[in-house]
Amino acid sequence: MSSMLFSDYSSSTTARFLPFSRSRLRVDGAVFCRRLLGPLHVRPPISVSLRTTLTVHSSSSSSPVISATMGTGTSAKIIDGKAVAKIIRDEITAEVSRMKDAIGIVPGLAVILVGDRKDSATYVRNKKKACESVGINSFEVRLPEDSSEQEVLNFISGFNEDPSVHGILVQLPLPSHMDEQSILNAVSIEKDVDGFHPLNIGRLAMRGREPLFVPCTPKGCIELLHRSGIVIKGKRAVVIGRSNIVGMPAALLLQREDASISIVHSRTKNPEDITRQADIIISAVGQPNMVRENWIKPGAVIIDVGINPVQDEKCPRGYRLVGDVCYEEACKVASAVTPVPGGVGPMTIAMLLSNTLSSAKRLHNFQ
């Protein structure tokens, strides 16, 4: 029987991983570890001394951003993505309300869902709820599986013209008879809140150019680093994974922040030799517990994007979620690490809301 995994991350493309059947759950051999565009407002950080090559700052030891160490024998600070995302959502709520009071405009996000995949429907519902929670209007179009590409294009074109819509998101995956590329390309670059339009990615890659939107998950990773007071400039960073939606834009963003970047992918030989040199690792692979203690330089900061279900009969659902990084081992050697779940996941949807707000501000010239 197929199990549904309803995670809290929201990048439209991640839906393609789900639902998964129990038989596809990953069992990780003998080791079963338990497991932008600038910040909206960065709190003045107070330095916390760590045995690290990096300086990690936190406003207090009970900061919602970086919480205390795990337990005996571990040293890493836990970067609490859920708490950071909550702070960002509160900031967005305040900005939405300020904009409404000042110019009578409420930001609007349109989501197009084609077909009846339950996981996609859940993601769309979550986005709608997230919009409601911060006061952003949401518009939803649901089309049957056998709709034509032209019908989808017609809706996109309508939303492109609609002044009450500031962000357009096409929930992926699309049915196989549709050309994903031509549909995504039809979204106006000015409303491309997912940041997947080639023009936005191209601008991200070019010096002196500014993308209108940055893809939500990598933007969330950088925001987590900023809000945790972690210095990126001049550091060595390794991104594991080079997908269009996470790895590649994450590497571009780190480079824009003046880090020196290496990218590790499935053809990289001896990846641990490369990751061991990194002050900052962002991992977006989809392989449970792949990054082990000996992959990590003492004191490195680890941002784990991976969300991987692994079989665990002790859990009510028969599985639990782990990252790409062996969490317990990372906690022993890293200076700061994001948990899975509760790390990058909650940031993705917060960044979608942030992108929608920025779009509305830009389109209405509201500072």
Residues 6 or more apart in contact with residue 271 via CB below 8 angstroms: 240, 264, 295
Binding mask 59-98 for ligand NAP (x = CB under 6 A): ----------------------------------------
How far, in Å, CA of 325 to CA of 123, rounded?
25
Concerning whether 367 is annotated as a catalytic residue, the answer is no
Q: How far is the CB of 9 from ligand NAP (least distance, A)?
A: 3
**Of the candidates 52, 171, 243, 356, which one interacts with ligand NAP according to CB under 6 A?**
243
| 3-state secondary structure (DSSP) of residue 142 | strand
Q: How far is the CB of 36 from ligand NAP (least distance, A)?
A: 14
Q: Which two tokens stand for residue 95?
A: 């900005």
Choices 162-170, 182-190, 228-236, 258-266; region in contact with ligand NAP by CB under 6 A: 258-266
204 class by beta-carbon count within 10 Å (0-12 exposed, 13-18 middle, 19+ buried): buried
Choices 35-43, 227-235, 302-310, 330-338; region in contact with ligand NAP by CB under 6 A: 302-310
How far, in Å, CA of 175 to CA of 292, rounded?
37
Concerning whether 127 is annotated as a catalytic residue, the answer is yes
Concerning whether 150 is annotated as a catalytic residue, the answer is no
121 class by beta-carbon count within 10 Å (0-12 exposed, 13-18 middle, 19+ buried): middle
| Cβ-based nearer residue to ligand NAP, 141 or 169 | 169
Q: List binders of ligand NAP among 168-227 (CB under 6 A).
A: 217
Which is nearest to 279 in space by CA: 68, 2, 55, 83?
55
| Cβ-based nearer residue to ligand NAP, 63 or 348 | 348
Residues 6 or more apart in contact with residue 247 via CB below 8 angstroms: 239, 240, 241, 263, 265, 282, 284
Residue 125, strand partner residues: none
From 171, 297, 312, 324, active-site residue: 171
Choices 86-94, 105-113, 123-131, 282-290; region in contact with ligand NAP by CB under 6 A: 282-290
Residue numbers at the binding site for ligand NAP (CB under 6 A): 9, 11, 14, 17, 217, 240-243, 245-247, 264-268, 271, 284-287, 305-308, 344-345, 348
